[in-house]
């Protein structure tokens, strides 16, 4: 399987990448907090994903840790291969383990982008998601600062995470939405944004594809991932794991493509 993109390819943020991506949320301590117990294995899993299995879509966020996973991604993969897409997300406060608070004020979003650039060791974030729309802040201000950062060359492409069709349409009035990242799996099987993204030609990145491991324990890995891949050519699942053995299972589950 070395170098062969699992489940074929998809174009996201101007790069042709593997449809099977790698989510990094589990490369932390409990509660998505701090470093994992075994940083060496976390770094090894990232390298295996890219260099052994040909996964070229790596998804992370400044909120994972917070901050720690971006450091691990840099340690494992920098300098990044030209064909690898490193996507990150900004706009979330992490005051404690398992606590997630959207914070979309422009000064904070700008500071988050600047910090992610430093942690990842890049001059531009190829794909940066607004991790959550902050419903307590002005919607236009959140889109405006992301577009401004893109115009300044600090963000290459802008994505949205956990959004509704209305959110996508509103954002589309101010900027080009390069990707949408929402929950989709055999348990949470309906998302009206899925069809809209297909109609608009927007890649749909499915996070929590195994329902945080529940589906893997009840249905195995192959059926839920193949179910997702059959939802449309624009769907790209990003399962997450911290274990090499589980990573191999994920790749094997989609190796036949769709």
Positions marked catalytic = 64
CB contact at 8 A, 235 and 229: yes
List phi, psi (to 5°) of 124.
Answer: -145, 135
User: Could you tell me how many residues make up the chain?
Assistant: 258
N-to-C CA span, the chain:
16
CB contact at 8 A, 84 and 110: no
Q: Minimal CA–CA distance to 60: which of 29, 25, 26?
A: 25
Can you tell me whether residue 133 is helix, strand or coil? coil
CB contact at 8 A, 90 and 113: yes
Q: Which residues pair with 220 in a beta bridge?
A: none
Question: CA-CA distance, 29 to 206, in Å (whole number)?
Answer: 23
Residue 121 token pair: 């060791």
CB contact at 8 A, 88 and 159: no
Q: Minimal CA–CA distance to 47: which of 78, 70, 83?
A: 78
Residue 77 token pair: 């993969």
């Amino acid at each position: 399987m070395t170098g062969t993109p699992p489940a074929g390819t998809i174009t996201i943020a101007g790069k042709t990448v593997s449809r099977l991506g790698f989510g990094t949320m589990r490369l932390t301590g409990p509660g998505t907090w701090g470093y994992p117990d075994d940083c060496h294995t976390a770094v090894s899993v990232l390298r295996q994903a890219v260099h052994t299995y040909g996964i070229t879509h790596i998804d992370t966020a400044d909120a994972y840790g917070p901050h720690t996973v971006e450091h691990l991604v840099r340690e494992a993969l920098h300098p990044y291969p030209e064909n690898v897409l490193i996507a990150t997300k900004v706009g979330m406060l992490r005051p404690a383990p398992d606590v997630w608070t959207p914070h979309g004020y422009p000064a904070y979003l700008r500071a988050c982008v600047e910090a992610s650039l430093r942690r990842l060791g890049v001059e531009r974030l190829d794909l940066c998601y607004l991790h959550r729309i902050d419903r307590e802040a002005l919607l236009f201000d959140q889109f405006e600062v992301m577009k401004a950062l893109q115009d300044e060359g600090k963000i290459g492409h802008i994505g949205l995470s956990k959004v509704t069709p209305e959110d996508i349409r509103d954002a589309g009035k101010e900027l080009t939405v390069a990707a949408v990242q929402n929950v989709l799996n055999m348990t949470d099987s309906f998302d009206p944004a899925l069809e809209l993204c297909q109609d608009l030609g927007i890649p749909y990145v499915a996070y929590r594809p195994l329902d945080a491991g529940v589906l893997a324990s009840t249905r195995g890995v192959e059926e839920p991932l193949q179910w997702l891949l059959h939802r449309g050519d624009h769907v790209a699942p990003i399962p997450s794991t911290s274990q090499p053995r589980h990573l191999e299972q994920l790749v094997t589950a989609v190796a036949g493509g769709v």
